[in-house]
Amino acid sequence: LAPAAFGCPCVLASSLPRHIFMSYIPGTASLVEELDKKIMVVLRDGRKIIGMFRSFDQFANLVLQSAVERHIVGKRYGDIPVGLYVVRGDNVALLGEVDPAREHPPQLQQVSAKEILQAEKEEQEGNLLKTQMLKKTKEMEEWLSQHLYRLWIVTMSPFSAKLLRTQKKK
């Protein structure tokens, strides 16, 4: 890939000598150290992209090669291949090198892309149903609060109901 392919001056790991990379101020954050390593990028919308970090520019736009989007549902996860991936720097919330020994979390079960997408769809439907049930419960609570006086009268003995009516009139 040539830098001009992206319409901006990009830094390619293979295009410059290594000593030029080390010309930044030590102790400061630099993307140069992460070039040609497998990284995970967490985007502002919560998506997680894993791939080989190949390039970046002055706006912190990133180029990932052989990238996958990791989806996690409950105790399962799946990687959906997205290939060459360009991430706009504004969308990056977090990034870091992936430890090869911990790339596949032992507490999670890896499933196929098709299975994880199905599980995500089911989870979204379950959340929608939960939201609808909470809305109906709230409507019912509001209705009950408006009609509570009548409910109390129905469930109380005639003597208690008469006392309650008397107290309300005062």
Q: SS3 for 98? A: coil
Mean pLDDT confidence for 16-31? 58
Tens of pLDDT, residues 26-68: 554 678 888 999 999 999 999 999 999 999 988 889 999 999 9
Report d(CA 64, CA 79) in Å as an integer.
15
Residue 29 has a pLDDT of: 63
Tokens matching residue 163: 């006392």
Q: Residue 158 pLDDT more than 80?
A: no
Q: Between these two residues, 107 and 52, which has the higher pLDDT value? A: 52
Report d(CA 32, CA 89) in Å as an integer.
15
Best-predicted range by mean pLDDT among 22-31, 104-113, 136-145, 150-159? 104-113
- Of 52-56, 73-77, 80-84, the poorest mean pLDDT is in 73-77
Q: Alpha-carbon torsion 120, 123, 124, 125, what sign?
A: positive
Tens of pLDDT, residues 116-134: 888 888 888 878 778 888 8
Mean pLDDT confidence for 6-10? 53
Mean pLDDT confidence for 74-82? 91
CB 156 within 8 A of CB 168: no
Residue 69 has a pLDDT of: 94
